[in-house]
């Protein structure tokens, strides 16, 4: 009776619909000619999607293609071969399979076919690996402060320490055997499957913080920012990837707050720049009028002045000029900080610039009884440079030397250390003043930084001259160097790119 019942069934149809494992028939070249329902369930492809395609393109990862080809040749040669390998599903995820491949020949075929029966043994493999990892590494992993998750080549978790379980909200051992993709939000998983598969077949160490910004997904579906470092781990039985996972929520919050503060600071700086540009213009206009009318009065054009009036007007004129210089310096600093200072390089005779500066400042030096010396080559010395910026720097350096020297000399020199291409031109300002201490030299070029004198009356100044000079020198591709010893004077050297000709 049972024989009659069995004969009423189509055995091929029974295998196609009821056989739990994947049954696949291919040509000797690997083209799929039969695809069972078990194969559809195991790998995700419908029969219509799988037939007439090469099996390697469907389910064999690239890293295992050579091994698969050798096994198929062995099946054709020996008739039967069994082996364990990694397979790829339609969605890119990986699984372990026990594979039996048998050569099949029929009278109708001119060439033999290969019948493959593939059984998904991923869970068995994971449990076996999990027992091995537990025995070897559990105590070590529990001692680390980060969450540690170790996965096998198919991306399944074989061990997770308690820190990782708490981090993602899972009970002890609940992550065992799960796909590591479960720990990422849905929107990342498709891309992560590809990245993970590539990494598993081409592993390399990746330090914490060198990866992409990622979000972790807890069991309750909440998300949080994470940082991951990856390390390959090879044992006699298998290859694994160890992931160290860190919750960086606190750092991200700090970075966000810092970005907001930086934006506020940038907005404040822009407002400052606009204020300085506007107010500098508004303040210079009345100051110029004050200076102009004061000069007219001092020239006694409207009429004679008393001694006290002359003295008071000179005080007004000096104060107004001091304030105008401060405003001009502030405006220039604001332009440089805002990146709006435009230099206009032009062929400039450095020798002529120094002579002009000496003519302007000579009365100031001679009024203090200082020897005021200019040392320049006899011929013109041309550089492609912004003349106004060069003059402003030299005036600042020289006026400072005069201001802080009570006796002796101030010498300004133009030096060409090298005539070779790519050389430089130096403008040196030396004085015989009281010198600058190392501590004061360290803050010499800071904005509003003023150095207290040890002897004599305190010199007036805004504290912006050297700061602005260094900014201008840097814009021109140069630098300002200082050499000074207490009691032995100071030497400031403006170094400019290019050789004067």
Domains of the chain with CATH codes: 2-120 (3.30.450.20), 125-247 (3.30.450.20), 253-337 (1.10.287.130), 346-497 (3.30.565.10)
**In the block, which residue shows the tokens 């060198």?**
210
Average pLDDT over residues 223-235: 86
CB 394 within 8 A of CB 354: yes
* Long-range Cβ contact pairs of 320-324 (< 8 A, separation 24 or more): 320/287, 320/290, 320/291, 320/294, 321/291, 322/460, 322/462, 323/283, 323/287, 324/284, 324/287, 324/288, 324/291
Side-chain half-sphere of 471: how many Cα atoms within 13 Å? 23
pLDDT in tens, 430-445: 999 888 888 888 888 8
Closest Cα to residue 298, out of 287, 309, 284? 309
Q: What is the pLDDT of residues 125-140, one digit of tens each?
A: 888 888 888 888 888 8
Average pLDDT score over the chain: 84
Question: What's the pLDDT band for 233 if we cut at 50, 70, 90?
Answer: confident
Hey, CA dihedral for 417, 423, 425, 428, is it positive or negative?
negative
* pLDDT for res 480: 93
| pLDDT, position 411 | 95
Q: What is the mean pLDDT of residues 133-154?
A: 87
Q: Give the sheet arrangement for strand 80-88, strand by strand.
A: 32-35, 22-27, 113-120, 94-104, 80-88
Q: Which has the minimum average pLDDT: 187-191, 422-426, 447-451?
A: 447-451
376 contact partners, CB below 8 Å, separation of at least 6: 351, 354, 355, 413, 414
pLDDT given for residue 228 in this prediction: 86
- CA-based torsion, 337, 339, 340, 344: positive or negative: positive
pLDDT tens column, 27-54 = 999 999 999 999 999 999 999 999 999 9
Helix, strand, coil shares of the chain as percentages rounded to 5? 45, 25, 30
Other CB atoms within 10 A of residue 10 CB: 10
pLDDT in tens, 393-414: 999 999 999 988 989 999 999 9
Sheet holding 223-234, edge to edge: 157-160, 147-151, 239-247, 223-234, 214-217
Give the C-alpha separation, 292 to 294, whole Å.
Answer: 5
Higher pLDDT, 423 or 85: 85
pLDDT tens-digit series, residues 445-486: 877 666 655 555 545 556 678 888 999 999 999 999 999 988
75 — pLDDT class (breaks 50, 70, 90): very high
Region 173-196: mean pLDDT is: 81
The reported pLDDT for the residue numbered 421 is 59
Q: Between these two residues, 58 and 293, which has the higher pLDDT value?
A: 58
CA distances from 284 to 47, 56, 290, 463 (A): 86, 81, 10, 19
Mean pLDDT for the stretch of residues 297-319? 83
Which of 127-141, 205-219, 276-290 reaches the highest mean pLDDT? 127-141
The residue whose two tokens read 């000079």 is 469
Render pLDDT for 346-355 as a digit per residue (tens, 0 to 9): 999 999 999 9
Could you tell me the pLDDT band of residue 194, with boundaries at 50, 70 and 90?
low
Task: State both tokens at 290.
Answer: 């004050």
* pTM, 2 dp: 0.49
CA distances from 339 to 108, 269, 334, 399 (A): 84, 12, 9, 27
HEC profile of 133-159: HHHHHHHHHHCCCCEEEEECCCCEEEE
Residue 3's pLDDT band, with cuts at 50, 70 and 90, is very low
The pLDDT value recorded for residue 440 is: 84
Separation CA 82–CA 98 (nearest Å): 7
User: Which tokens hold the place of 409?
Assistant: 């000399």
Write the pLDDT tens digit of every residue in 373-398. Answer: 999 888 888 888 999 899 999 999 99
């Amino acid at each position: 009776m049972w024989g009659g019942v069995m004969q009423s069934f189509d055995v091929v149809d029974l295998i196609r619909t009821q056989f739990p494992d994947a049954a696949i028939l291919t040509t000797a070249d690997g083209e799929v000619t039969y695809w069972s329902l078990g194969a559809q369930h195991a790998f995700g492809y419908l029969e219509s999607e799988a037939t007439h395609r090469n099996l390697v393109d469907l389910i064999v990862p690239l890293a295992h293609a050579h091994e698969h080809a050798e096994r198929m040749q062995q099946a054709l040669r020996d008739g039967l071969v069994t082996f364990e390998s990694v397979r790829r599903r339609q969605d890119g995820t990986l699984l372990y399979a026990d594979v039996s491949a048998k050569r099949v020949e029929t009278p109708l075929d001119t060439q033999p076919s290969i019948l493959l029966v593939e059984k998904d043994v991923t869970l068995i493999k994971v449990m076996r690996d999990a027992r091995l990892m537990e025995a070897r590494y559990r105590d070590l992993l529990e001692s680390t402060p980060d969450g540690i998750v170790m996965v096998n080549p198919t991306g399944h978790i074989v061990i997770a320490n308690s820190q990782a379980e708490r981090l993602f909200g899972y009970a002890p051992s609940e992550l065992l055997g799960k796909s590591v993709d479960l720990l990422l939000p849905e929107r990342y998983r498709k891309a992560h499957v590809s990245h993970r598969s590539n990494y598993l077949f081409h592993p390399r160490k990746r330090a914490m913080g060198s990866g992409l910004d990622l979000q972790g997904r807890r069991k309750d579906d909440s998300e949080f920012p994470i940082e991951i470092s990856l390390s390959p781990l090879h044992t006699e039985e298998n290859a694994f990837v160890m992931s160290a996972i860190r919750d960086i929520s606190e750092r991200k919050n700090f970075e966000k707050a810092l970005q907001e503060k930086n934006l506020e600071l940038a907005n404040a700086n822009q407002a400052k720049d606009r204020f300085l540009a506007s107010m500098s213009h508004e303040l210079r206009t009345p100051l110029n009028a004050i200076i102009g009318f004061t000069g007219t009065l001092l020239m006694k054009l409207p009429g004679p002045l008393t001694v006290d009036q002359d003295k008071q007007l000179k005080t007004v004129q000096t104060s107004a000029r001091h304030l105008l210089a401060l405003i001009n310096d502030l405006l220039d600093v604001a332009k440089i900080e805002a990146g709006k200072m435009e230099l206009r390089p032009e062929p400039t005779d450095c020798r002529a610039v120094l002579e002009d500066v000496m003519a302007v400042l000579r009365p100031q030096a001679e009024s203090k009884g200082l020897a005021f010396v200019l040392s320049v080559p006899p011929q013109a010395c041309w550089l492609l440079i912004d003349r106004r910026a060069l003059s402003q720097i030299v005036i600042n350096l020289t006026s400072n030397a005069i201001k802080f020297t009570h006796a002796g000399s101030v010498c300004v020199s133009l030096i060409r250390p090298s005539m070779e291409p790519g050389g430089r031109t130096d403008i040196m300002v030396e004085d015989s003043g009281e010198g600058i201490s190392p501590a004061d030299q360290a803050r010499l070029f800071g904005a509003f930084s003023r150095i207290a004198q040890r002897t004599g009356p305190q010199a007036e100044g805004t504290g912006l001259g050297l700061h602005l000079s260094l900014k201008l020198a840097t814009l021109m591709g140069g630098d300002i160097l200082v050499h000074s010893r207490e009691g032995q004077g100071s030497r400031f050297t403006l170094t400019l790119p290019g050789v004067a000709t």
